[in-house]
Structure 1
Amino acid sequence: MELRTFVKETLKDIIGGVQDAQREIESGKIVPVLNEETWNGLQTGLTSIQAVSFEVSVNAVEREGSEAKLNVVAAVIGGGVRGDSSTASEHTAKLSFKIPVQYPKSE
């Protein structure tokens, strides 16, 4: 899976999971409405804006006649490994980054 697709789908799943949980709980609140301008949430880290931390291993695959793409290296499950016999140059790297996300607030 390409890195950009992995990041996009992961962020959509996180936001969707928060929204699903907010709809399904009967008591309590997930991401309650707070006056974040006056409340000292930044020091405690409790705000609706959080950083989603990613740590992924990627392969940079460059094929003849095409641009390089970053693909997330997936775990091998069930012993299956897929190979590719085309002419390609690969480099593996570990990436760590954070993306700030504002979660939807409970109503």
Structure 2
Amino acid sequence: MELRTFVKETLKDVLGGIHDAQAEIEHGEVVPQLNEKGWQGLETGLTSFQAIDFEVSVNAVEKEGSEAKLSVVAAVVGGHVKGDSSNIAEHTAKLSFKVPVKLPISSK
């Protein structure tokens, strides 16, 4: 899976999962309404603004005549990544990054 697709689908799943939990939980709230006007929320981490941390291993695959694409490593077997043996140059790297998001606020 390309890194771009993996990040997109992960963010959709996280935010969608929060929204689904908010709809199904009867007692309590997931991401309740908070006073986010002061600095206290930021200092304690109690805010609807959060960072989703990603740490992924990716392959940079460059086939002859095409641009390089980053793919999330899905299967490692015996120290080797499964793939075709066509005429490609391949490099593996570990990426760490954060994506800031605003979580959906509970409507209760």
TM-score scaled by length of structure 1: 0.91
Asked if residue 75 in structure 1 is aligned to residue 75 in structure 2, the reply is: yes
- Which residue does 2:43 correspond to in 1? 43
Give CA-to-partner distance per residue, 1:43-99, whole Å, 9 cap, x none.
Answer: 11110010000000000000000000000001359xxx7431211000000000000
Aligned amino acid, residue 19 of structure 1: H
Asked if residue 9 in structure 1 is aligned to residue 9 in structure 2, the reply is: yes
Deviation at 1:38, TM superposition (A): 2.9
Aligned amino acid, residue 10 of structure 1: T
Give unpaired runs (5+ residues) of structure 1: none
Deviation at 1:39, TM superposition (A): 6.2
CA contact (8 A) 2:75 2:82 kept: no
Aligned pairs, number: 104
Point out 4+ residue stretches in structure 1 off by more than 3 angstroms. Answer: none
**For residues 39 and 105 of structure 2, what CA distance do their matches in structure 1 show?**
15
* SS state at 1:94 partner: strand
Asked if residue 22 in structure 1 is aligned to residue 29 in structure 2, the reply is: no
1:46-61 correspondence runs (5 A): 46-61=46-61
Give unpaired runs (5+ residues) of structure 2: none
**For residues 19 and 39 of structure 2, what CA distance do their matches in structure 1 show?**
23
- Across the aligned residues of Structure 1 and Structure 2, the Cα RMSD in angstroms comes to 1.5
Aligned amino acid, residue 4 of structure 1: R
